[in-house]
Homo-oligomer: A and B are copies of this chain.
Amino acid sequence: MSVELADSIAALRTRLAPLRREGKTIGLVPTMGALHAGHIELIRRARRECDCVVVSIFVNPIQFDRNDDFERYPRPVADDMRLCEQEGVDVVFAPGAGEMYPRPQRAFVEVEALTDHLCGKFRPGHFRGVATVVAKLFHIVQPERAYFGEKDVQQLAVIRRMVADLNMPLTIVEVPTVREDDGLAVSSRNVHLNAEQRRSATVLHQALAAAREQVARGQREAAAVRQEGLNVLARQPAVRVEYFDVVDSDEMQPVERIERPVRIAAAVWVGATRLIDNVLVEV
């Protein structure tokens, strides 16, 4: 059976309404396309758990804080469709910007506090754009379950909190980060790295692993753990650190002492490409 493409909200709703009446479970994998091994994990998990799998592909303009990032974001549509077909996706929802934002957008979902640090500090408006488009997609698809990757840990926390605080009737499923053999987290932006940058980029995961190792050895001072990570990152002068922080897992607030499970999360620039990654650290 071949994957269906819906490019309008009305077409998608028409397609899903009978399934919903029959009590079928709908799973949503929201993406910006440029599908990679990380997305495939999300899709396979959804395929195992739901009767109908919807993949949305929409490069959401209102979550980009830099226009060059939006412009050069990869959009390999034919490859994405082929991949969805291979993975047994039922429907790809790929609306245009005019379909998602037919008039000036006035209503936004804001998640406070959780967006004050990490990426939220460096990408003003980013999470407002993410929460808003995800709320729109949830209302359009009305899935029982929606799948997100652990790599974007702050995004995941923001969406979980949006769903909880606004009583949205669905379950958020968190899927572990997929990594290359050398530890680099798979990302749509990795295609922008040249061979040398690609080699330097592995230092991000190494730094996070070194920081986690410090905690495993008994270090409880976040400042010392952070310094260890920064020391590792300093070995690659081509890699510029944006942040490297130790935060609590629910509200994404920096901690001083590590006494509960935390996330160590970092963003770095390799040339003009921004990469993020994180590790869960349990104590």
Chain A interface residues toward B at CB < 8 A:
9, 13, 21, 23, 103-114, 131-132, 135-136, 139-140, 142, 161-162, 164-169, 251
Contact = CB atoms under 8 A, between A and B. Distances in A.
Contacts of A112: 106-108
A172 to B, nearest CB: 13
A55 B112 CA distance: 30
Contact of A135 (B140, B166, B169): B166
Contact of A165 (B106, B131, B162, B169): B106
Contacts of A13: 169
Contacts of A165: 103, 105-107, 136
Main secondary structure of the interface of A (DSSP, over half): mixed
Contacts of A131: 107
Residue picked from A107, A114, A131, A169, most chain B C-beta under 10 Å: A107
Nearest to A135: B166
Sort A-B residue pairs by CB-CB distance and give the 9 closest, nearest first.
A107-B165, A139-B167, A107-B162, A107-B111, A136-B167, A139-B168, A106-B112, A140-B167, A108-B110
Given A106-B112, A131-B107, A142 B166 contact: no
Contacts of A168: 139
A65 B185 CA distance: 46
A266 to B, nearest CB: 23
Contact of A166 (B107, B110, B167): B107
A270 to B, nearest CB: 32
Contacts of A161: 106-107
A169 B107 contact: no
A9 B167 CA distance: 9
B166 A109 contact: yes
B166 A132 contact: yes
A125 to B, nearest CB: 12
Contacts of A104: 113
29 contacts: A9-B167, A21-B23, A103-B164, A103-B165, A104-B113, A106-B111, A106-B114, A106-B165, A106-B251, A107-B111, A107-B131, A107-B164, A107-B165, A107-B166, A108-B109, A108-B110, A108-B111, A108-B112, A109-B109, A109-B110, A109-B166, A110-B110, A135-B166, A136-B166, A139-B166, A139-B167, A140-B167, A140-B169, A142-B169
